């Protein structure tokens, strides 16, 4: 029997694959304060599921198309009529509601709504693993390729322009990466929890990382640990796997902040004695 026949091993590999991508990408979401943007993109996943089921497209393709369309629409519309937070709030909740209504209107189709909302990592198949790891590798390659441009555009549009980098192009790269992540992560943590896996590990890594590159690596590691820890807790407590992974990530965030606070106090006392 192949080791991949073990559903728990497949779940761990799936969670790790998503975490390794969500960590570095989440750093840009945190740096750019794009949490609501991530929500709007992730919530469009349900519209993508409806599109896929109605047209017999693969679900991953439908979700990627819907998430990308939502991200591009929000990017173009934000700030033209309403403030950014208002526009993103409307887009996030409107996309979620529209997706739920559209799914309910599909004739003759039974949908595991809880799985799409909160993930179903324990049901990940070998083909799902292939999609997650192949999609994750593509996103990481895109981030590595555009790292300098993304970082400069995040720090300052003027600084990026001075270096010959178009901030709008880098924003488009980030938008594409987010849409791809939503597509590959939907089965692991679901539409409602994808943004948490972007933000929480990156926020926890911020307490320890001296450089942007270090923060990306630490965030990926924290996400992987949270995935394994959440699955272990889910197995022991018989709790939902996706939410358990997010809770584990939040616990790691609290621990990281606590350790950082203790370290700062220790450093301050040492300096005072000196």
Cα 223 to the chain's mean position, in Å? 10
Q: Cα(110)–Cα(127) distance, rounded to whole angstroms?
A: 22
Q: What is the chain's pLDDT, residue by residue, as a tens digit (274 residues)?
A: 556 558 889 999 999 999 999 999 999 999 988 887 888 888 889 899 988 888 888 889 999 999 888 888 877 766 566 666 777 778 888 888 988 888 888 887 777 788 888 888 988 989 999 999 999 999 999 999 999 999 998 888 888 888 888 888 888 898 899 999 999 999 899 888 999 999 999 999 988 888 999 999 999 999 999 999 999 999 899 999 999 999 999 999 999 988 888 877 776 665 555 4
The Cα 160–Cα 49 span in angstroms is 37
Angle at 209 between CA 204 and CA 214, to 5 degrees: 110
> What 8-state DSSP symbol labels residue 4?
G
pTM of the complete model: 0.88
Note the pLDDT of residue 253: 94
The per-residue DSSP string of 39-101 comes to HHHHHTHHHHHHHHHHHT--HHHHHHHHHHHHHHHHHHHTTTSS-HHHHHHHHHHHHHHHHHH
**What pLDDT shows up at residue 13?**
94
């Amino acid at each position: 029997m192949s080791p991949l026949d073990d559903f728990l091993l497949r779940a761990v590999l799936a969670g790790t694959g998503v975490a390794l991508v969500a960590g570095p990408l989440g750093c840009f979401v945190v740096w750019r304060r794009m949490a609501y943007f991530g929500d709007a993109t992730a919530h469009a996943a349900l519209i993508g599921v409806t599109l896929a089921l109605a047209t017999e497209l693969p679900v991953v393709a439908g979700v990627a198309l819907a998430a990308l369309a939502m991200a591009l629409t929000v990017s173009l519309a934000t700030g033209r009529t309403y403030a950014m937070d208002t526009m993103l709030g409307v887009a996030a909740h409107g996309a979620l509601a529209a997706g739920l209504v559209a799914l309910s209107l599909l004739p003759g189709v039974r949908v595991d709504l809880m799985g799409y909302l909160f993930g179903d990592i324990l049901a990940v198949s070998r083909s799902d693993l292939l999609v997650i790891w192949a999609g994750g590798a593509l996103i990481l390659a895109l981030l590595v390729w555009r790292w300098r441009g993304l970082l400069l555009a995040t720090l300052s549009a003027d600084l990026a322009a001075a270096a010959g980098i178009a901030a709008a192009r880098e924003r488009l790269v980030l938008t594409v990466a987010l849409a791809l992540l939503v597509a590959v992560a939907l089965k692991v943590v679901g539409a409602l929890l994808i943004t948490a896996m972007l933000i929480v590990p990156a926020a926890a890594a911020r307490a320890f990382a001296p450089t942007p590159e270090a923060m990306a690596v630490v965030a990926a590691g924290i996400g992987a640990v949270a995935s394994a820890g959440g699955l272990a807790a889910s197995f022991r407590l018989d709790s939902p796997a996706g939410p358990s992974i997010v809770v584990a990530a939040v616990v790691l965030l609290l621990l990281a902040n606590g350790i950082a606070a203790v370290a700062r106090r220790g450093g301050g006392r040492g300096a005072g004695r000196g």
